[in-house]
Structure 1
Amino acid sequence: MCEAFITLATNDEYACGALVWAHSLRQVKTTKKIACMVTKQVSKQILDIANSVFDHVELVDVLDSKDETNLALLSRPDLGVTFTKLHCWRLVQYTKAVFMDADTLVLKNVDDLFEREELSAAPDPGWPDCFNSGVFVFKPSLETYKQLLNFAVNRGSFDGGDQGLLNIFFSDWATKDIRLHLPFVYNVISQAFYSYPPAFIHFRSQIRVIHFIGAEKPWHYGLDKFGQVIIHDLTNVGNPQFLQHWWNLFMTHVHPRLTPGESDFVGKLAQIEISHPDPEVSDESERQMAWERGQMDYMGSDSFEKIQSLLESKIKK
């Protein structure tokens, strides 16, 4: 029995997101395979990196919904190519899989998702009777793939993207079985922090996956000379610490392998320089994320002596 986490990259931007996502999974010590579907729009340079990071890379064709009217309602015409996500059902070498969008970031081990059945997903905050298709458990099947394609051609999608299509196809998700409803912590929409701040504060340590929805993605931001993310509008970010964690992973695992190459996007990322790194700020951010994953450094920075010293210094102030 072979199980895998699967994502999709339709261009170099999302491929960089997918690479960070893969490293976030490895950081939390997943025991599952990690696979990525890519289209021809991904450059050779990024594809070479992907082949060395993922257990499997699958080249797929772009499926476009051609539904410009509905997509316009979302102000996101780029969502049309997300129909390409349906190819994940063709990866029948896996007995069960978890699809995750390339703009997600894993904070805690989520291997327990494989104990769930198809189609398990978390409610979408915008309309909780629908699930958000950024994270879902499914069973690869050529028959299901064919049914989805036929359904897409004949019925389309109410939002022009894969989420509308999948919610119509799995229309009984809301009422069929509560066990198919993933807790929100498995797919936390970054902007949701502002809609219910007390809940975010209370459940923050339980968050397993962050989903950077919207047109502005982590890779669209920049870094200052200290390696800190430059943020101009917090309303599009949610919690800056998660965005910083994404960039810390990118600068550690992806950036060193980039060279000015075939796309302007990759070249721009490759030219990022941190001339005056501030390890204390970066280390503190990573330490807090590790603490929340349950990975305490009891022999080092999280030792009793260090904590006692910190408490005493605060009391004296």
Structure 2
Amino acid sequence: MTAFATLMCDDASTLPAMVLVTSLLQSGTSAQIVVMLSPAVSMEVKGVVDRILPGQVAAMRTNTVPYPFKVRQAEVDRGVKRSCRYTKLRAWSLVSFDRVILLDSDILVLGSLDSLFTKASRTAAVADIYPRVFNAGLIVLAPDSGVHKRLVTAAGATFSYNEGDQGFLNSYFEA
């Protein structure tokens, strides 16, 4: 069984996540769509999400993976939200699925992505503009509780060139 997954960090991420889900549904996918909700998403918003999502889409609560770096107040003041970013690592815990395509909620899907489910490697990602770096906004993965545990454990001890999930994942998978 296959799934697309995305993360809602807080109530403000509702609109981008719903646009992503709508664009996935319009692409004609038959895969399940999982919206992971961090604890910062209010019960009110979870209720709205549950009411508007069709049966092909499941909203599920997930625990936050702690952000391992100091959050700077200047970034918070500018609207930069880093504290939830590592929570996307929870996608590796979705072991009821054989393959998951993890998408950042700011992606607009314009066509079918279903062919990505058949990629042979255990983890694949989109190349970034820099040749040795992949973009963590789209990752094809095979959920594995062992990998999930190792990722979460390594999150606080592994170098991240940008103090974000992308830098961490590039270091972890040695892109």
Bin for the TM-score computed over the shorter chain = 0.7 to 0.9
SS at match of 1:37: strand
User: Per residue, is there more strand in 1 or in 2?
Assistant: 2
TM-score, length-scaled by structure 2 = 0.86
Q: Which residue of 2 aligns with 1:135?
A: 138
Q: Which residue of 2 aligns with 1:26?
A: 25
The residue type paired with residue 118 of structure 1 is: R
The 8 Å contact of residues 83 and 162 in structure 1, kept in 2 or not, is answered as: yes
Q: Which residue of 2 aligns with 1:65?
A: 67
SS at match of 2:171: helix
The residue type paired with residue 134 of structure 1 is: G
- Unmatched segments (≥5 aa) in structure 1: 174-317
Q: For residues 156 and 63 of structure 1, do their structure 2 counterparts lie closer, same or farther at Cα, with a shift above 3 Å needed? A: farther
1:87 paired residue among 85, 90, 107: 90
Shift of 1:60: 1.2
Shift of 1:67: 1.1
Shift of 1:69: 7.6
Q: Which residue of 2 aligns with 1:119?
A: 123
Q: Which residue of 2 aligns with 1:14?
A: 13
CA distance in 2, matches of 1:41, 1:84: 12
Residue 109 (structure 1) aligned with residue 108 (structure 2): no
The 8 Å contact of residues 68 and 155 in structure 2, kept in 1 or not, is answered as: no
CA RMSD between the two structures: 2.2
| Highest RCO, 1 vs 2 (Cα 8 Å, sep ≥ 6) | 2
The 8 Å contact of residues 80 and 161 in structure 1, kept in 2 or not, is answered as: no
SS at match of 2:84: helix
Shift of 1:31: 1.1
User: Per residue, is there more helix in 1 or in 2?
Assistant: 1
CA distance in 2, matches of 1:120, 1:86: 14
The 8 Å contact of residues 71 and 82 in structure 2, kept in 1 or not, is answered as: no
- Unmatched segments (≥5 aa) in structure 2: none
The residue type paired with residue 123 of structure 1 is: A
Q: Count residues in correspondence.
A: 168
| TM-superposition CA deviations, 1:198-235 (whole Å, max 9, x none) | xxxxxxxxxxxxxxxxxxxxxxxxxxxxxxxxxxxxxx
| TM-superposition CA deviations, 1:83-113 (whole Å, max 9, x none) | 0111111111111100001111101111101
Q: Which residue of 1 aligns with 2:172?
A: 169
Q: For residues 148 and 112 of structure 1, do their structure 2 counterparts lie closer, same or farther at Cα, with a shift above 3 Å needed? A: same
SS at match of 1:146: helix
CA distance in 2, matches of 1:139, 1:78: 27
CA distance in 1, matches of 2:28, 2:37: 24
Q: For residues 77 and 160 of structure 1, do their structure 2 counterparts lie closer, same or farther at Cα, with a shift above 3 Å needed? A: farther
Shift of 1:77: 4.9
SS at match of 1:103: coil
SS at match of 2:63: coil
Shift of 1:153: 2.5
TM-score, length-scaled by structure 1 = 0.49
Shift of 1:76: 7.6
CA distance in 2, matches of 1:59, 1:121: 25
Q: For residues 136 and 29 of structure 1, do their structure 2 counterparts lie closer, same or farther at Cα, with a shift above 3 Å needed? A: same
Which 4+ stretches in 1 moved above 4 angstroms?
none
Shift of 1:48: 1.9
